[in-house]
Amino acid sequence: SASAFPSQKPKSELVRTSLRLLTSSAYRLQSECKKTLPVETCPTTDIQLVTQQVIQCAYDIAKAAKQLVTITTKENNN
């Protein structure tokens, strides 16, 4: 999240919230994807559930990215 705004702390609470969602979703996505690797997979791994979690993480990442684009576009136009 820091690299998105390297020289300043985001002023807007909405920006901070979106960045938090983006970062946490990216970590969750990484962790869910690891569950599908042969080394991590155990017989009880529910691949369908993992797939649903990956889709949800990807959706959250897209949502957060859209929020950031919307917010920064509005701020730049002011």
Whether the per-residue pLDDT at 76 is higher than 80: the answer is no
Q: How many Cβ atoms are within 10 Å of 40's Cβ, its own excluded?
A: 11
CATH second-level architecture of 13-75? Up-down Bundle (1.20)
Q: What sections of 1-78 are H helices per DSSP?
A: 13-34, 47-77
Quote the pLDDT of residue 1: 44
Query: 64 vs 36, 42, 68, CA distance in Å?
Result: 25, 32, 6
pLDDT tens digits for range 6-25: 555 556 888 889 899 999 99
At how many degrees (to 10) do helices 47-77 and 13-34 cross? Answer: 160
pLDDT for 24 equals 94
Q: What is the pLDDT of residue 55?
A: 95
Residue-range domain boundaries for the chain: 13-75
